[in-house]
Amino acid sequence: MNYERYLNPAIAAVPPSGIRRFFDLASTMREVISLGVGEPDFVTPYHIRNAAINSILNGETSYTANRGLPELRKEFSLYLKDRFGLDYDPAEEIVVTVGASEAIDIALRAIVSAGDEVLVPEPSYVSYSPSVVFAGGRPVGIRTLEENRFRLKAEDVRAAITPRTKALILPYPNNPTGAVMEREDLLAIAEVVRETGILVLSDEIYAELTYGGLRHTSFATLPGMWDYTLTFNCMSKAFAMTGWRVGCLCGPAQLVSVMNKIHQYAILCAPRQGQAAAVEALRAGRENGYEDVVTMRASYDRRRRLLVDGFNRMGLHCFEPLGTFYAFPSIRSTGLTSEEFCQRLLEEKHVACVPGTAFAPCGEGHIRCSYATGIDKLNIALQRMEEFIRTL
């Protein structure tokens, strides 16, 4: 039976993620070294796992409040204040979500009406544009360029704004480019926000993973910007807790309460054990200076240097990524397209990367390589890539 007539054509028309094809291909191969993984290679620290086990043994198996466990909202509030100077009231301005992914989805669904435009810097994480479409809106890409270190330029934002523009997604530190936005870069964006009154959806899930002495600046902490900003964060990247699915959506109470309405009807609450684990992660972090995060960041930083240096040596120009755990080298010198490069590298050398085009057409000429993989494997991957390039 053909079910097409049942499907919403707007949703059915959204193409599947470009990453899928590489996943399918790589999954059939043995001995693949994958630089294509978008999550930490650390297992969640033991004390956090143990807290979740204890929560199960204690019989904590019921729903939580829709907005999440009160103690977790309090911990998120303290954490965001402590680390990024953000002020969010745990009672009214925070909802615990199923990862930041849900937060983005419900935020968009709450603000976007049919035909509204949402600005999405490109290349960026694969789900923003589809989520805008699912909400009935129209994603408007804003291309970021390597010559600007993939930072979002205020003039490009200004130029993209129309009377239908509702919001700007601000995904920094950025997956896939590894780009960061420093305070001055953000102040320029804030000026545009002040002039035009658009909302900013600031996805800060990689905020802890910045390097070279940089500290992440949260957009909502800029003068006057709190009122215009929704901040998304989560446990996944900084605490190596991707599978637990716990994130948070923070913003002005009036907005957050409408988003919580969707959350309440669609999700009810984030998973209980994930919340218990998150409480432990944030509480312990507050008490020990976030030592898990510090250790993991130091480890990523070494691997970041190794990978970037390796690419530059083999002639793949790579700008220095100052955030996340991705490098985004240019493969233009090889004459191949991103897709061809990744496919042949996988087939011939069993190294998996993700073509830049999976993140937007303007990602052409680049590949995303995750350095959240052991040093031994990174070294082998670099060696195989160098061999591959020599055969071209």
Partner 1 sequence: MTELEMSLLDLLQEDCRLPLEKLAVMTGVSIEECAAAIERLEKDRVILRYAPTINWDKTGRERVEAMIEVRVMPQRDMGFDAVAKRVYHFPEVRSVYLMSGGYDLLVLVETKTLRELAMFVSEKLSPLEAVTGTATSFVLKRYKEDGVVFEETPSDRRLVVSP
Q: Does 39 bind partner 1 (CB under 8 A)?
A: yes
Residues numbered 267 to 326 that lie near partner 1 (CB under 8 A) are 298-299, 302-303, 305-306, 309
Tokens of 288: 């020990």
- Tokens 């446990």 found at: 235
Q: Does 379 bind partner 1 (CB under 8 A)?
A: yes
Q: What angle do CA 355, 359, 361 make, to 5 degrees?
A: 85
Which of 95, 104, 126, 193 contacts partner 1 by CB under 8 A? 126
The stretch near partner 1 (CB under 8 A) out of 19-27, 85-93, 166-174, 316-324 is 19-27
Residue closer to partner 1 (CB basis): 74 or 305:
305
CB of 344 to partner 1, least distance (A): 16
Residue 278 to residue 195: CA distance in whole angstroms = 38
CB of 197 to partner 1, least distance (A): 31
Residue 19 to residue 357: CA distance in whole angstroms = 9
H or E element in which residue 165 lies: strand 165-170
Residue closer to partner 1 (CB basis): 17 or 264:
17
CB 235 within 8 A of CB 243: no
Residue closer to partner 1 (CB basis): 157 or 238:
238
- Write the DSSP string, 172-201: -SPTTT-----HHHHHHHHHHHHHH--EEE
CB of 332 to partner 1, least distance (A): 22
Residues numbered 323 to 352 that lie near partner 1 (CB under 8 A) are 352
Residue closer to partner 1 (CB basis): 160 or 352:
352
Using CB atoms within 10 A of its CB, is residue 213 exposed (0-12), middle (13-18) or buried (19+)? Answer: exposed
Residue closer to partner 1 (CB basis): 7 or 375:
375
Q: Does 179 bind partner 1 (CB under 8 A)?
A: no
Closest to 229 measured CA to CA, from 46, 87, 57, 42: 87
Provide the CA 241 distance to its chain's centre, in angstroms.
Answer: 13
The stretch near partner 1 (CB under 8 A) out of 36-44, 191-199, 258-266, 326-334 is 36-44
Q: Does 23 bind partner 1 (CB under 8 A)?
A: yes
- Whether the link from the prior residue into 329 is cis, omega within 30° of 0, is no
Q: What share of the chain is helix, strand, coil (3-state, %, to 5)?
A: 50, 15, 40
State the helix-helix crossing angle for 272-288 and 70-84, rounded to 10 degrees. Answer: 40
DSSP code, position 60: -
CB of 157 to partner 1, least distance (A): 24
Q: Does 245 bind partner 1 (CB under 8 A)?
A: no
CB of 100 to partner 1, least distance (A): 12
The stretch near partner 1 (CB under 8 A) out of 26-34, 193-201, 221-229, 321-329 is 26-34
Residue closer to partner 1 (CB basis): 169 or 198:
169
Which positions lie near partner 1, rule CB under 8 A? 17, 19, 22-23, 26-27, 32, 34, 36-39, 41, 125-127, 175, 298-299, 302-303, 305-306, 309, 352, 354, 358, 374-376, 379
